[in-house]
Amino acid sequence: MDVKSPPAFLSPRELGRMMEGRPSSVQPVDCRSFLHYNSDRITGSVNIFCPPLVKKRFCSSLLPLDNMLSAETRATLCRPGVGVVVLYDDDSDEESWQTPRCDLQLVMDSLVTFFQHHDLAFFVLAGGYSCFQRECPHLCSSHTSLSGQLKSLDRIHVHTPHPQSQTHPSAHMSFHTISPVELLPYLYIGDASHASMKEQLQDVSITAILNVSTCCRNHFPHDFRYKVIPVEDSNCADLSTWFSDAFQFIEQEKQRGGKVLVHCRGGISRSATVCLAYLMYSRALRLDDAFAYVRARRHIISPNAGFMMQLAQFEAELRNLGFDRASMPLKPALSPCRLFSHSKSAFDLTTETESTSTARSPTSDVSPSLSCVPLVS
C-alpha cells in the first residue's frame, strides 16, 4: 500500500468474519485513547494512540514509531501468520477520513512506512469501534487484570479524589489476601503483604519490586531486583523528587522484559502516587484520568493531600513543558518534575554492563545523598 493512497475500508461484518474464520491472520489496532482502550476494545487489539501533542508535532511527517511502539506491540504485529492489520477509532468512516479530527491517517501512514518490509495489508474499520460493538459484541472484550480478581471493579463508579479522605483499614482487609493489581502489562500495584508473598509474586511473573516506604522489608533480595524510595506517608513529605528514579527503574525493568511491583505499607497513598505519576508521564494522561484508571482497578487508593498537590504540580509542569513521550528518549525515562535528582542526570544514565550487574546484589541501596543535577536544559 502506498503511503499517500486512500485506505481500504472493512465493514464490521467483514472484519467479524475474518476474525471468526482466520483469527491468527488478523491484527486489530486500537487508535483510541489509552483509557478507552482499557475500558473495552476489539478482542486481541493492540493500542497505538496519537496524543494531541504528538499529532501537533508530527502532523506534517511520520510518527516516531521506533520510540512509541513497545517490544510487545512490535512482536504482535510481526508475529508469524499475520497478514491483515485493521486500524480503528471510535467512529471514523470514509467521509470523515480526511477531516482534521481524524488521527487514523497519521497512524496509518506511519505504520505502513514503518512495516514496509513486512508483508502486511492495512485496512481501516468503517464506523469504528462503536459500529463494530453493535454488530459483533461477542468479538469485543473489557479490561481485566491478569489474575482476573478485579473484574467487578470496572463497574464501580469512580468519584473525584478528595485529598483529605481517609479510609478505615478494616474496610480493606479483603484486599490483603489477593494478588497485586495489574495496571500495565509490566506494572503492578500492591501493599506490604503482597511484597512478602514470593509464590504469589512469581505467579504473576514479577521480577522487580519498588518499595516506597521507610519500614517495609525487602524479603527476597536474591530473587527480585529492588529499589527503595524512603518516603513517609506524610503531607509534608516530598515524593515528587523521586519520580525520576522511579520512572527509570520501571522503564529499565520493562526493557528487560520484566514486571515491577510498586508497593508501600498499605498500597493506598505512596505507591498509588508513584503509579499515577508514571501513567501521566508514560501514557500522556491527565491526573483525573490516571486516577480514574487506577481507582477502577484498586478502589482503595487515596494519596494524601501533600501527594495530590505534588501530582497536580507535576501535571502542570508536564503541560507547561509541552512534554510528549514520543519526543523524549525511551531509555532512560525523563521526569521534568524537578531540576534535580537523587542520583544522576536522566540523560546520562546508562544500563550497567553485564559484568557489573552480576557482581552486585540484586538489592539496590538508597542513594546516600542528594546531588543537584539538571534534568532539563
- Per-residue DSSP letters for 251-320? HHHHHTT--EEEE-SSSSSHHHHHHHHHHHHHH---HHHHHHHHHHHSTT----HHHHHHHHHHHHHHHH
Which of 88-97, 126-135, 216-225 is least confident?
88-97
Which residues, including other chains, have CB under 8 Å from residue 22's CB and lie 6 or more apart? none
Question: In which band, very low, low, confident or very high, does the pLDDT at 73 lie, cut at 50, 70 and 90?
Answer: confident
* pLDDT top residue among 307 and 94: 307
Domain check: are 257 and 124 in the same one?
no
Which residue carries 521526569 as its cell? Answer: 335
Question: Is the bond into 332 cis (omega within 30 degrees of 0)?
Answer: yes
Residues facing 24 on adjacent strands: none
User: What total number of domains does the chain contain?
Assistant: 2
The answer to whether position 306 is within a domain reads: yes
Domain check: are 180 and 102 in the same one?
no
Query: Which grid cell is 289?
Result: 484520568
CB atoms within 10 A of CB 113: 12
Domain check: are 105 and 192 in the same one?
no
The answer to whether position 352 is within a domain reads: yes
Whichever domain contains 84, its CATH number is 3.40.250.10
Domain check: are 265 and 180 in the same one?
yes
Residues facing 371 on adjacent strands: 341
The answer to whether position 21 is within a domain reads: yes
Instruction: In whole angstroms, give the CA distance from residue 137 to residue 135.
Output: 6
User: What pLDDT shows up at residue 208?
Assistant: 97
Domain check: are 284 and 337 in the same one?
yes
Which residue carries 491478569 as its cell? Answer: 146
Q: Which of 141, 165, 191 is at the close of a domain?
A: 141
Which residues, including other chains, have CB under 8 Å from residue 322's CB and lie 6 or more apart? 53
Instruction: In whole angstroms, give the CA distance from residue 254 to residue 186.
Output: 6
| CA angle (293 as vertex; 291, 299 as ends), nearest 5 | 75
Residue 121 pLDDT greater than 60, yes or no: yes
Domain check: are 275 and 339 in the same one?
yes
Which of 107-111, 116-120, 353-357 is least confident?
353-357
The answer to whether position 271 is within a domain reads: yes
The answer to whether position 164 is within a domain reads: no
Among 118, 43, 110, smallest CA distance to 81 is for: 118
Give me the domain span that covers residue 268.
Answer: 174-359
- Taking residues 150-175, what's their average pLDDT? 37
User: What pLDDT shows up at residue 283?
Assistant: 87
- Taking residues 233-237, what's their average pLDDT? 93
Helices and strands counted in the chain (H then E): 14, 12
Mean pLDDT, the chain, whole residue set: 76
Domain check: are 130 and 212 in the same one?
no
User: What pLDDT shows up at residue 143?
Assistant: 59
Which of 119-133, 248-262, 278-292 is least confident?
278-292
Give start and end residues of each alpha helix (H) in the chain: 12-21, 34-39, 52-58, 65-68, 71-77, 104-114, 128-135, 192-195, 198-203, 243-255, 270-283, 287-297, 305-320, 354-359
Instruction: In whole angstroms, give the CA distance from residue 340 to residue 344.
Output: 8
Determine what percent of the chain is predicted with pLDDT higher than 70.
70
User: What pLDDT shows up at residue 331?
Assistant: 34
The answer to whether position 150 is within a domain reads: no
Residue 365 pLDDT greater than 80, yes or no: no
Alpha carbons within 13 angstroms on the beta-carbon side of residue 71 total: 10
Domain check: are 124 and 194 in the same one?
no
The answer to whether position 26 is within a domain reads: yes
Domain check: are 178 and 314 in the same one?
yes
Which of 37-46, 74-83, 244-253, 338-347 is least confident?
338-347
Among 66, 52, 143, 150, smallest CA distance to 110 is for: 66
Which of 101-110, 201-210, 226-235, 317-326 is least confident?
317-326
Residues 13-69 have pLDDT tens digits of 999 999 999 889 999 999 988 778 878 899 999 988 877 656 666 666 788 887 777
Q: Which of 141, 161, 192 is at the close of a domain?
A: 141
Domain check: are 179 and 119 in the same one?
no
Looking at residue 55, its amino acid is K
Question: In which band, very low, low, confident or very high, does the pLDDT at 180 lie, cut at 50, 70 and 90?
Answer: very high
* pLDDT top residue among 143 and 145: 143
DSSP-derived secondary structure letter, 240: G
Domain check: are 190 and 331 in the same one?
yes
User: What pLDDT shows up at residue 38?
Assistant: 79
Whichever domain contains 181, its CATH number is 3.90.190.10
> Looking at the annotation, which residues are catalytic?
264
Domain check: are 134 and 275 in the same one?
no
The answer to whether position 1 is within a domain reads: no
- Taking residues 236-259, what's their average pLDDT? 95
User: What pLDDT shows up at residue 95?
Assistant: 76
